[in-house]
Amino acid sequence: MDYKDEILKDLERQDIHRVYLHGMPEDLERQIKALCIEYMGAVVDGQRAMRSAITRKAGWFILNFAFKMATLAMQHKDKEALALGIIALHLSEILNVDCRDAVDLIAKLAYAAQQCELVPAEYTMLVCPDFPPKFLEWFRKPGPVKVGQMPTAILFFRLPMRPWLARPVGRRISTPVERKRSSLKQSKSS
């Protein structure tokens, strides 16, 4: 059995909920980094075989790794972390599963590339020549990214605002019971 097959089996055994709550363990990061480096060194057929072996669960961990690499690249202006993030994005196969999940990550990788004083689309083509052309356009015109700063002057990516979680602005929407009570009060006062 191959080393990359062992890594993929280990990714399948990981608990998504634990990683979501407590962050990615260092040994898991090392394994995904090794997988990305192996992917970069493989020929086109080997890369295609590696991408086809990625399951949705393994893809989630690889995307999580790509997000962490985008954050590190932005914070430390680290081109190696940026390259690993781009490779992890391509390896995750998310672009072929549901590309809407990749829009935010591509914007963050593009912002990190700009922080490293690189042209995002050109660097993506340099790192990953077979990156799908229709998604390269998202590197050319990335979406907005919200960046925050900790008191220690360390930058971080803010989570995108979900409109359905936002509180209504202006007048509060009343429930049917509240509307009935207010109509009764108005009728008594008149």
Alpha helix ranges (H) inside 98-166: 100-115, 120-127, 133-140
For 13-45, what is each residue's pLDDT tens digit? 998 888 888 888 999 999 999 999 999 988 889
Taking the C-alpha atoms of residue 10 and residue 25, their distance in angstroms, rounded to an integer, is 13
Mode of pairing for the β-strands spanning 147-149 and 155-157: antiparallel
Q: Where are the domains of the chain?
A: 3-160
pLDDT value at residue 175: 60
Structure tokens at 108: 């963050």
pLDDT at 170 over 60: no
For 119-141, what is each residue's pLDDT tens digit? 999 999 999 998 888 788 889 98
Of 60-64, 108-112, 147-151, the range with the lowest mean pLDDT is: 147-151
Taking the C-alpha atoms of residue 110 and residue 57, their distance in angstroms, rounded to an integer, is 25
Residue type, 114: Q
Identify the H or E element spanning 147.
strand 147-149
* Cα dihedral: 114, 23, 93, 2 (round 10): 120
For 65-78, what is each residue's pLDDT tens digit? 999 999 999 999 99
Better pLDDT: 149 or 159: 149
Taking the C-alpha atoms of residue 175 and residue 23, their distance in angstroms, rounded to an integer, is 40
pLDDT at 1 over 50: no
Q: What is the mean pLDDT of residues 49-70?
A: 91
For 80-95, what is each residue's pLDDT tens digit? 999 999 999 999 877 6
pLDDT band per the 50, 70, 90 thresholds, residue 169? very low
CA proximity to 87, closest of 46, 124, 138: 124
Taking the C-alpha atoms of residue 190 and residue 185, their distance in angstroms, rounded to an integer, is 9
